[in-house]
Structure 1
Amino acid sequence: MNRFNIGIYFISRNLVFTVACFLFLFTSIIPTKAQTRAVKPIGLRTDLMRYSDYVGLNGVKQSLPLNDDLLTEARYEVPLVQSEKPLLNWVLDNQSQGATAFQVLVSSKLMKLKNDHGDLWDSGKTNSTNASVLYNGLPLQHKKVYYWKVRYWEGQEKVSAYSDPKAFVVAPDINNEKFSQEPLIATDQMPEKIDQQKNRLSIDFEKAAFAKLKIELTGTGADSVIVTVGEMVNKDSQTIDSLQGRNISYYKTELALKSGTHWYEILWPSNSKRASNPFVIKMPNYIGEVYPFRYLEIKNYKGDLNPKQVVRTMVNYTFDENASNFSSSNKVLNQIWEFCKYSMKATSFCGYYVDGDRERIPYEADAFINQLSHYAVDSEYGIARGSMKHLMFNPTWPTEWTLYNILMAWYDYLYTGDDRFIKKYYSELKIKTLIDLSDDTGLISTLTGKQTNEFFKKLHKNHWGKNNNLRDIVDWPQSKPPGGYSDLSDFIGTEKQYPGENDGYVYQTYNAVVNALYYGTLNVMVKIAAALNQKQDTTMYRNKAEKVKRAFRATFQDKKNGLINDGENTSHKSQHANMFALTFGLIQDRNIESVLKHVKEKNMSCSVYGSQILLEGLFDYGGDQHGIDLMAAKTERSWYNMIRYGSTITMEAWDKRYKPNLDLNHAWGGAPANIIVRKMMGVEPLTPGAQTIKIHPKIGEIESAALKTSFITGAVTVACNQTDKSYSLEVEIPGGVKGDLLIPATKGNKKLYINGALSEQSEKKGSFHLKNFPAGHHILEVK
């Protein structure tokens, strides 16, 4: 007889006793005060690493637990924590409206942790709304595995279960100049297509990748085959193209076959130019050299091949395919998203943000676009940190590139909430503002005699030949030296006016593009200084920014129409001067319409690099539909043209016409990945660590669009649908995170409904603005 039967039995005997039994049974089912909930924290990160418990062998994940015994075998790759006080992060349940406290346990043995014994650190119940904390326990030994877990409270009565354990190992010799990063991973791939013809096998892997290659072949000991790989095929799609150019990959080698059936690994050619450059990022020994290719051709082979006998091993940094997705009613835009997303994965093969296969060197502007687009498609922050540190002490030559160090540092803090980078390198960031190049006007210039040896030393400039000077770039390639081609007149095409990619920019002593970006970085330094409680610096940078704004308008702005001139003594008004001024907030409200019109009329007169700034300005200042049109265009200067050209990774330039020595694997061509997320769907952190996120979609005339993107605090989903009479916004906000929502109030009767109920919220300036919006799943409709 179970407890419920007993209760029924006593009803007939004693009503009072029955009620008592019922209350006992009820309280045994419903959790009491401080009783464990079913949901536990997930997404644990150690020092920002998602997979701190990873174990690999030559890049291949092993089904082995990370423990002290495994560390005795030097052959395995494991992530190394480069901090004696690592940052610990976790993600709350989606239904959580916010934690009020947490408890972290860190143990030297897994069994101790399972028994809830934190012998290294037991934080106790710590009152905090954070979902992260710096380790604050006993000193951690080097080359030792530790284990941690966490639970959290909501209010006073709800406490979660403990998370699953997460293991990590502290580096044998902590390098204070390194940041914690995970090892590269290697994934075997089989061909998507094998076309077997007489005397020739044509093999297609569908997408290009930086990879290794091995083939199983059968020979007599007296025969050989010709193996060819490349990124492009001829128009007949039958043979690999050897004529595309020296930076579009093509490699042919003869392979002597042994008697019998054997596996053959193709050895890639050495690159003498890269080998002589001390600043090239080299592949780690456990991976070896890789080569970018999509196509494989085998000639003179007398046998057959099945897909399992051809293995391409793709190499990349850890990448979560499920961290993001996007779809819309615009099919071309969907293609561009997938194209750019894959590009972020494929170009991560070095573990740094590099400028493609040609040089394999980090450049600041490349890294800036790479960082934003990488963050948009995957919540991974290790590559950015390593790249930022590298660039801090290995600067490149363009003036503007130095300034991007500051923007990168800010976005690192905004997305992670971890201030260790900006705190550690704050003095370096101050130098990277290039304030040393400013004069009494407040503007900066590279041509006023301020580039001294002392200046170079402070900037760590030491490796750009005899001319160590910073040089204004504006865009790339330039139409004239330095750095550009002496004559690009044959590469104009029909979609822009001037040779090169700088829209006929007139370079003068004072440069509008340089100073617009300088102004933007000063405003970012205001935020960084404030975050570090540097009150005097906060005021100083704010005052300098105001001075630059006044000087910029006085020097570069046409008083008649509000447009921006390239320099102090020219009336030429390039797209670049105007789009940089627009994006970084230098245009007065009364002049925004005329500047926007001028920028739009020039369409895509900038390079793939410049498109990042162009698109940001368009979406921020009312040109969202034009921005969408540019991203989904099928012109020659478009992302669709890269696909049409035959590339599966974003290219260095719009077309070979515009940069004859381009390569087909440049992440700086992937701006739409971050623009779709941050600007079109309007999703980005509003406060450091994504504790508050903004969702301000601007989908123009698109009927529907749906996005998933991930932050350190969890995944966000947004779906927009609009008709002539209604607009709906469906959101899923991570647990403990607040939303800042902006919904167009232009449809139907302009009434807002939240989860089916009419809202009392009033619209302002054509939108409903909802602040501190709660976590969870919500449907908002304007009709």
Structure 2
Amino acid sequence: MSATIVHTAYPEDGAAEFDSSDETLDAVWDLMDRSLEYSVQETFVDTPTREQGQFLHDTVNISHGLLATEHERVASRQAIREFMLSQERYWTSGNDAGRYNAVYPNGDGKRDIPDFTEVVPAWIWAYYLESGDRALLADVYDNLSATAGYVRRHIAETGPTQGLVTRLTGGSGAYQYGIVDWPEHGRFGYDMSAAARTTVNALGVDVLRKVALVAEALGRPAAEVQSYVDDADALAERMNATLRRPDGTYVDGLLADGTQSAHAGQHATSYAVAFGIAPEQDLPALGDYLAGMGMKQGPMTSHFLLEALAASGSYDAVLDLLTNEDDYGWAGWLAQGGTFTPEAWQLSGSANSASHGWGSQAVVDVLDSVLGIEITAPGAAEVTFSVPDTGLAHAEGSRMTQRGRVSSAWTTEDGALTLDVEVPVSVSGIVELPAGDYEVMGPDGAAAKELGTADGLTRYRVGSGAWTFAG
């Protein structure tokens, strides 16, 4: 018996690297890195062992990961263009306008899932941040504008759910108005009877904000850009007015009569935090609330939970979620003998694939929120380096960017911190450290520009070369 292992070719010297003082975290990184690598053949695949075509949400998650871990560009650019073609082929008029096929290209014909459509603008913006490919951004702007229109058309102007995205047209059966997560048990009881779902509304805010960023990057008229911003802000404000409990946590949505759902699943609050909707003063408490729930989201959306924990400042909870062997999640899956991220934390029924790359987008959270390397300007013109307060004693790693490889290595011991970063030519580095005084050593005696101390952080701007910060 023999097996042929197939995956697409990735750029030479494009692989990211990561190592830390936590062996379980390192094994989780290896799991996700390996899973991503084998999730592209001629196209993105939902699983290399049960190929069912290029599913949109799978593609988005896997592409996010590979842009960072393998410097992948070709398959992502191809997939973006193919899903734009699905819109132009099937989704151009009436309530159809602005949607994308749930799978494309394949023989399914016209088929969509609403919240699959809603993750597309953020995907394309992430591709632009990584690549700086403004030409593609310009090519797809009309498609993204149509997607913003799709969300806007479903914001109720009157009635019990006024001001909220309500029954977002699309899908069928269990997917009608949105899938939330997959499979059913991966929703952990989410109230699918809600007419105005919190997850769909949060994604709607993100659609409008990301299209605003695209419009601004393309130099569209200021009034056009501002209209997206204003609509996003109004939707977020309405969410906060109607979808929160007195303690600030979010319910699953509003029912058709305007009453709140009795259920408040983890998805609802994690989405509100991850997409910048929850009030800033509530974030610490919401982070504690989410952390206390453990893992109550499926692999498809688990990265949103990590983003929410990081946004709330709960970096120790980010590490706990990634490494907890006694709960659902990556470490728990490894403890069961898993070698590839799964379709669901608990396999059953048709959700029985033990090799689904969509659970590996969290590799980006390891880079951003554990190692502390984040691209913060298109084409990696700016990269931010930080030392997240996860409780790790040491982490080091590197990743390729459009302008060259960036690296970071830091150690914390007995209250002392040492950070070494390497910045390529034509990249501006922002270094964010816990508030304090630091000795800074730059290349050939170069000096870092001090940006001041605020919100518990001391910040510097640095140019290319090797830099050391000690304090």
What TM-score range do you get, normalising by the shorter chain? Answer: 0.7 to 0.9
Matched with 1:555 is 242
Matched with 2:10 is 318
State which of 505, 530, 537 in structure 1 corresponds to 2:190.
505
Rounded Cα–Cα distance in structure 1 between residues aligned with 2:242 and 2:408: 43
Matched with 1:398 is 113
State which of 412, 416, 430 in structure 1 corresponds to 2:145.
430
Matched with 1:334 is 26
C-alpha displacement of 1:673: 1.5
Rounded Cα–Cα distance in structure 1 between residues aligned with 2:167 and 2:238: 17
- Residue segments in structure 2 that go unaligned for 5+ positions in a row: 87-99, 103-111
Task: Summarize the Cα distance change of 1:438–1:351 in structure 2 as closer, same or farther, 3 Å threshold.
Answer: same
Contact kept, 8 Å, 1:619 with 1:680, in 2: the verdict is: no
Contact kept, 8 Å, 2:183 with 2:344, in 1: the verdict is: no
Rounded Cα–Cα distance in structure 1 between residues aligned with 2:349 and 2:460: 46
Secondary structure in 2 aligned to 1:501?
helix
Rounded Cα–Cα distance in structure 1 between residues aligned with 2:174 and 2:181: 19
State which of 609, 612, 617 in structure 1 corresponds to 2:300.
609
- Work out which of the two has the higher radius of gyration on C-alpha atoms and give 1 or 2: 1
Rounded Cα–Cα distance in structure 2 between residues aligned with 1:719 and 1:380: 24
Rounded Cα–Cα distance in structure 2 between residues aligned with 1:653 and 1:706: 30
Rounded Cα–Cα distance in structure 2 between residues aligned with 1:474 and 1:379: 29
Secondary structure in 1 aligned to 2:181?
coil
Q: How many residues align?
A: 431
Secondary structure in 2 aligned to 1:327?
strand
State which of 597, 601, 604 in structure 1 corresponds to 2:288.
597
Matched with 1:439 is 156
Deviations 1:622-674 (A, max 9, x none): 11111111111212412123333333222212232x66642122111113311
Q: How does 1:192-591 map to 2 (within 5 A)?
A: 227=1, 312=4, 314-320=6-12, 323-392=15-84, 393=86, 395-396=101-102, 397-433=112-148, 434=150, 435-440=152-157, 441-446=162-167, 451=169, 470-478=176-184, 500-507=185-192, 508-535=194-221, 536-558=223-245, 560-568=246-254, 569=259, 570-591=261-282
Secondary structure in 1 aligned to 2:196?
coil
Rounded Cα–Cα distance in structure 2 between residues aligned with 1:661 and 1:443: 32
Q: TM-score, normalised by structure 1?
A: 0.52
C-alpha displacement of 1:546: 1.5
Contact kept, 8 Å, 1:728 with 1:781, in 2: the verdict is: yes
Matched with 1:777 is 466
User: What letter corresponds to residue 562 of structure 1 in structure 2?
Assistant: G
Task: Summarize the Cα distance change of 1:314–1:357 in structure 2 as closer, same or farther, 3 Å threshold.
Answer: closer
Secondary structure in 2 aligned to 1:709?
strand
User: What letter corresponds to residue 649 of structure 1 in structure 2?
Assistant: F
User: What letter corresponds to residue 590 of structure 1 in structure 2?
Assistant: Q
Contact kept, 8 Å, 2:67 with 2:127, in 1: the verdict is: no
C-alpha displacement of 1:390: 2.1
Matched with 1:716 is 406
C-alpha displacement of 1:410: 0.7
Q: How does 1:52-91 map to 2 (within 5 A)?
A: none
User: What letter corresponds to residue 236 of structure 2 in structure 1?
Assistant: K
Matched with 1:704 is 394
Q: TM-score, normalised by structure 2?
A: 0.86
- Residue segments in structure 1 that go unaligned for 5+ positions in a row: 1-226, 230-292, 294-311, 457-463, 479-499
Rounded Cα–Cα distance in structure 1 between residues aligned with 2:46 and 2:418: 40
User: What letter corresponds to residue 654 of structure 1 in structure 2?
Assistant: W
Deviations 1:246-277 (A, max 9, x none): xxxxxxxxxxxxxxxxxxxxxxxxxxxxxxxx
C-alpha displacement of 1:534: 1.3
Contact kept, 8 Å, 1:409 with 1:421, in 2: the verdict is: no
Secondary structure in 2 aligned to 1:654?
coil
Rounded Cα–Cα distance in structure 2 between residues aligned with 1:438 and 1:730: 48
Rounded Cα–Cα distance in structure 2 between residues aligned with 1:760 and 1:564: 41
Task: Summarize the Cα distance change of 1:550–1:641 in structure 2 as closer, same or farther, 3 Å threshold.
Answer: closer
User: What letter corresponds to residue 501 of structure 1 in structure 2?
Assistant: G
C-alpha displacement of 1:467: 7.2
Contact kept, 8 Å, 2:34 with 2:340, in 1: the verdict is: yes
Rounded Cα–Cα distance in structure 2 between residues aligned with 1:468 and 1:573: 19
C-alpha displacement of 1:509: 0.8
Rounded Cα–Cα distance in structure 2 between residues aligned with 1:329 and 1:622: 21
Matched with 2:90 is none
Contact kept, 8 Å, 2:439 with 2:470, in 1: the verdict is: yes
Secondary structure in 1 aligned to 2:233?
helix
Rounded Cα–Cα distance in structure 2 between residues aligned with 1:524 and 1:722: 36
Matched with 1:126 is none
Structure with the larger helix share: 2
C-alpha displacement of 1:590: 2.4
Deviations 1:509-534 (A, max 9, x none): 11111001111121111110101111
C-alpha displacement of 1:352: 2.7
C-alpha displacement of 1:437: 1.9
C-alpha displacement of 1:699: 4.5
Matched with 1:620 is 311
Q: How does 1:164-179 map to 2 (within 5 A)?
A: none
Q: Percentage identity across aligned positions? A: 22
Task: Summarize the Cα distance change of 1:646–1:542 in structure 2 as closer, same or farther, 3 Å threshold.
Answer: same
Which fold has the larger relative contact order, with Cα–Cα distance below 8 Å and residues 6 or more apart in sequence? 2
Contact kept, 8 Å, 1:563 with 1:594, in 2: the verdict is: no
Secondary structure in 2 aligned to 1:425?
helix
Secondary structure in 1 aligned to 2:187?
coil
Rounded Cα–Cα distance in structure 2 between residues aligned with 1:760 and 1:436: 47
Contact kept, 8 Å, 2:35 with 2:340, in 1: the verdict is: yes
Secondary structure in 2 aligned to 1:539?
helix
Q: Which runs of 4+ in 1 moved over 4 A?
A: 466-470, 756-762
Task: Summarize the Cα distance change of 1:593–1:633 in structure 2 as closer, same or farther, 3 Å threshold.
Answer: same
Secondary structure in 1 aligned to 2:237?
helix
Rounded Cα–Cα distance in structure 2 between residues aligned with 1:738 and 1:343: 32
The answer to whether residue 359 in structure 2 is matched with residue 669 in structure 1 is yes
Rounded Cα–Cα distance in structure 2 between residues aligned with 1:689 and 1:759: 22
Contact kept, 8 Å, 2:406 with 2:422, in 1: the verdict is: yes
Secondary structure in 1 aligned to 2:253?
coil
C-alpha displacement of 1:355: 4.8
Rounded Cα–Cα distance in structure 1 between residues aligned with 2:31 and 2:274: 25
Deviations 1:358-399 (A, max 9, x none): 243222222222122112211121111111222231512322
Matched with 1:85 is none
User: What letter corresponds to residue 505 of structure 1 in structure 2?
Assistant: Y
Deviations 1:182-220 (A, max 9, x none): xxxxxxxxxxxxxxxxxxxxxxxxxxxxxxxxxxxxxxx
C-alpha displacement of 1:682: 2.5
Secondary structure in 2 aligned to 1:578?
helix
